[in-house]
Amino acid sequence: MKLKDGRILGNIGHAYDLMNETEQAILNLDNAIAIAKEIGDSSGEACASWNLGKVYKKLGKLESAIAAMEVRINFERKIGHPDIKKHEEELQELRTKLTSNTHPKL
């Protein structure tokens, strides 16, 4: 039952994100991640973490976005997921953006 609850909360969080209801998105995705961790659902944790990272990215909270998205990257690396390269590239773009924001060119 908790697996379903976690996945549903993740889907609701993603839906809130699509509607630009970021507070509700974060709340639901955080709850989905907590349930996934509690029951050992690594896949659900990775998916919800990636979506949470996308919300943080929208908000300009790049450090939080990177931290959340790294959870999925680590999961994909562990299982040999076919989309790992694409996701690593997206994460690297965020890291580059963060670095350029914290170290502006003179």
pTM for the full model?
Answer: 0.89
Count of alpha carbons within 13 angstroms of residue 103, beta-carbon side: 4
Nearest 5 degrees, angle CA 44-CA 50-CA 56? 135
- Going by C-alpha positions, the residue among 84, 50, 79 that lies closest to residue 67 is 50
pLDDT tens-place string over residues 79-106:
999 989 999 999 999 999 989 876 655 5
**pLDDT the model gives residue 91:** 93
**pLDDT the model gives residue 3:** 86
CATH of 2-102, one of 1.10.20.10, 3.40.140.10, 1.25.40.10, 2.40.30.10: 1.25.40.10
The residues spanned by each domain of the chain are 2-102
